[in-house]
Amino acid sequence: MPPAADAAHLATAADPDEDLCSSAAAAAAGEVAPAPPLPPPPVSAEERIERAWAHWRRLGSPRLMVAPMVDNSELPFRMLCRRYGADAAYTPMLHSRIFSENEKYRSMEFTTCKEDRPLFVQFCANDPDILLQAAKMVEPHCDYVDINFGCPQRIARRGNYGAFLMDNLPLVKSLVQNLSANLHVPVSVKIRIFPRLEDTLAYAKMLEEAGASLVAVHGRTRDEKDGKKFRADWDAIKAVKDVLRVPVLANGNIRHMEDVKNCLEHTGSDGVLSAETLLENPALFAGFRTKEWKKDCDENEDSGLDQADLVIEYLKLCEQYPVPWRMVRSHVHKMLGDWFRVHPEVREELNKQNILTFEWLHDMVMRLKKLGGRVALYKKESALQTAADGLAASNA
């Protein structure tokens, strides 16, 4: 894979947003713990399926997951989402070749801690041996090594990875087989659907047979990049769940907890992933919703929590678990988007601030609060209870 575009942010000298936001230490991939003995290879497909489910249950059968997001599902954000109900999370997509070769990339892009479990570490790749080398570095620190077969962006086309490997199924199969045969932790995959359902089902079954212990299905095709324009196809996800024997996760159309309940009921999947909604509202899985989705709530159901409060929590976690400032800047923009629409002059101040500090960001949040126009998060207790009941029933 060509290094230039994917590794551009490693040249940090001219861009302070590439510097770490704090000097606090966090556990990183370089601290390799001893791996457990490799279990004997499964003697049958039945045993592979049994092991996949046994592992899933040991993790507590998590239902509510932070999806992988480039530059956005990093450790402090994962920990914030876990604080508000997420019971598993993915790392951002990591570039397997750069990860295996570049120590600085590893230390900047992958950090974790003991509370950061269950954890999926996701890689993009197009070379089975390079992917295995990278995966070996993280397997002591995670519960699944995940392969990204779903990224639809132009950079994935240029690099020949993600959803563009759907055009090379023999390579897809070899990537999964090589990891499955050589790792101590299970292999998971995240995929998009084909335009034709029969192709999607054949693809999913091939991945399971190759050794995938879990399949996460984004219910949109490779060409359906705009989540607001194209609704995810829950029927296709249900069809995949019906033909596979390993755990299946659903990705797409999750805006609040009623969507979680409806998705689990419709698809029969074993859990859901959320990405874009969590970026605006990391408290989604605790039943909070933004004003866009408060129409079912009474005005007096203001939860007392708002996105500015969540930004303050996130900044404190960044001080504890340092990440590059570019990630911090991105999250502040996403979480305070509604506030910035009321006070665009504050957003402009943020954009002009070349060098960020925690003190400056805290002051900015306080200025927003003092300016008024607070944007509350809402919580509909009846809907939350209904969703909780649905989760409990599906776990039974």
Average pLDDT for 28-44: 54
307 shares a domain with 248? no
363 shares a domain with 276? no
What pLDDT is attached to residue 41?
A: 61
Total-model pTM: 0.90
pLDDT in tens, 187-198: 999 999 999 999
- Tell me the percentage of the chain whose pLDDT exceeds 70: 84
The β-bridge partners of 20 are 324
326 shares a domain with 253? no
What pLDDT is attached to residue 291?
A: 79
Q: Does 227 have pLDDT greater than 70? A: no
297 part of the active site: no
Q: Is residue 214 part of a domain?
A: yes
Q: Is residue 193 part of a domain?
A: yes
- Beta strand 119-124 with 271-274 is unpaired
Q: Does 353 have pLDDT greater than 50? A: yes
309 shares a domain with 274? no
Cβ–Cβ < 8 Å for 254, 86: no
Q: Is residue 295 part of a domain?
A: no
Q: Is residue 185 part of a domain?
A: yes
72 shares a domain with 160? yes
CA-to-CA separations, 152 to 148, 167, 213, in angstroms, rounded: 10, 12, 23
Distance CA 267, CA 235 (A): 7
Q: Is residue 2 part of a domain?
A: no
From 252, 285, 318, the end of a domain falls on 285
243 shares a domain with 310? no
What pLDDT is attached to residue 307?
A: 94
User: Angle between the 307-320 and 75-83 helix axes, to the nearest 10 degrees?
Assistant: 130
Q: Is residue 140 part of a domain?
A: yes
Cβ–Cβ < 8 Å for 142, 110: no
Q: Does 341 have pLDDT greater than 70? A: yes
Number of domains present in the structure of the chain:
2
271 shares a domain with 310? no
315 shares a domain with 276? no
162 shares a domain with 50? yes
Query: What is the torsion angle, in degrees rounded to the nearest 10, for the CA atoms of residue 71, residue 113, residue 273 and residue 262?
Result: -140
**Residue 16: DSSP 8-state:** G
332 shares a domain with 185? no
Residue 47's contacts (CB-CB under 8 Å, 6 or more residues apart) are none
What pLDDT is attached to residue 376?
A: 85
Provide the pLDDT confidence category of residue 336 given band limits of 50, 70 and 90.
Answer: very high
pLDDT in tens, 145-171: 999 999 888 888 898 998 899 999 999
Q: Does 77 have pLDDT greater than 70? A: yes
Average pLDDT for 242-270: 97
Domain coverage including residue 114 = 45-285
247 shares a domain with 155? yes
Q: Is residue 320 part of a domain?
A: yes
The CATH number linked to 193 is 3.20.20.70
The number of residues in the chain equals 396
Closest CA relative to residue 212, chosen from 48, 44, 377: 48
Q: Does 340 have pLDDT greater than 50? A: yes
Distance CA 192, CA 220 (A): 6
Closest CA relative to residue 97, chosen from 128, 141, 138, 143: 128
pLDDT in tens, 306-320: 999 999 999 999 999
Distance CA 307, CA 396 (A): 34
245 shares a domain with 279? yes
Pick the catalytic residue: 21, 151, 263, 297?
151
Q: Is residue 15 part of a domain?
A: no
Distance CA 217, CA 150 (A): 9
